[in-house]
Amino acid sequence: MNFPYPLGLTLLHMVFSSVLCFIVTKVFKIIKLEEGMTLELYTTSVSIGAMFAMTLWLGNTAYLYISVAFAQMLKAIMPVAVFVLGVAAGLEMMSCRMLLIMSVISFGVLVASYGEINISWIGVVYQMGGVVGEALRLIFMEILVKRKGLKLNPVSVMYYISPCSAICLFIPWIFLEKPKMEAQGTWNFQPLVLTLNSLCTFALNLSVFLVISHTSALTIRVAGVVKDWVVVLLSAILFADTKLTVINLFGYAIAIAGVAAYNNHKLKKEATRGGSSDSQDAESVALVPPATPNR
């Protein structure tokens, strides 16, 4: 709708989430905030908010250059980035099996990229930057939970993280997009559309929490794989500029197979740590929903 301002859009999402979380937790008190958030822990969460802002900014900017379907295919490499950074941070252990799984995912993404007809390397760089940002966010979140011993539900996470992300987005928005929006003269601002868009952002995180509360971590991970395929196929139907090739789909299928193997390996590993693996995993997944607002 001729609103090519990913920074401004993402900033609007974070401001909307901040206000809505405040209303839900402080005004109507529908959801109670978790206890134990100290100044030290809140300061630590600033880094998470910064990475979250980076993820949303770069991920949304990528859509200006590449199709939704191809962007989704590139996101399949997320487990590789998380694992590599996890090894560097001492949270993961390198093994032959994990190395094989990471290789399968990487190979699948490379094949999918090779089959892309209208590839834009600028868009690929933006998307990969978003992937790195998301991986760092997950790593920081795991460090915060494991080393600080803090457990939060998604609403509590958004309550603390959204304002930090909004500030981190506001600063580059002033220098990069605000002058362009002012130079345009009149902003093509559609309040109803943007409000519904922001509401979907908030509902996305809330829905993840509800699904986990009533099912299990395995369900949300399987649903995530199904969702990825639905996004790819629906984008090919809805957007005329999206053209999928056989190589595209073949490479993405390989990558998804690797992602499924990764999820299966992680679930088995968590199950061996104790009898309450489902609840523990649900908490960790609730902290870091698999889908972020720009998706």
Q: What is the pLDDT of residue 213?
A: 59
Q: Where are the alpha helices (DSSP H) in the chain?
A: 6-22, 39-62, 68-75, 78-88, 96-114, 121-148, 154-176, 178-183, 191-214, 217-238, 246-271, 277-287
Q: What is the pLDDT of residue 148?
A: 62
Domain extents for the chain?
6-287
Residue numbers of the chain with a pLDDT score lower than 50: 276-291, 293, 295
| DSSP conformation class of 25 | I
Q: What is the pLDDT of residue 221?
A: 66
Q: What is the pLDDT of residue 71?
A: 92
Q: What is the pLDDT of residue 186?
A: 59
Q: What is the pLDDT of residue 242?
A: 81
Q: What is the pLDDT of residue 154?
A: 72
What are the pLDDT digits (tens) for 153-190?
Answer: 777 778 888 899 999 999 999 999 999 888 876 566 67
Cα–Cα distance measured from residue 61 to residue 255, given in angstroms and rounded to the nearest whole number:
23
- Lookup: tokens for 225: 């794989």
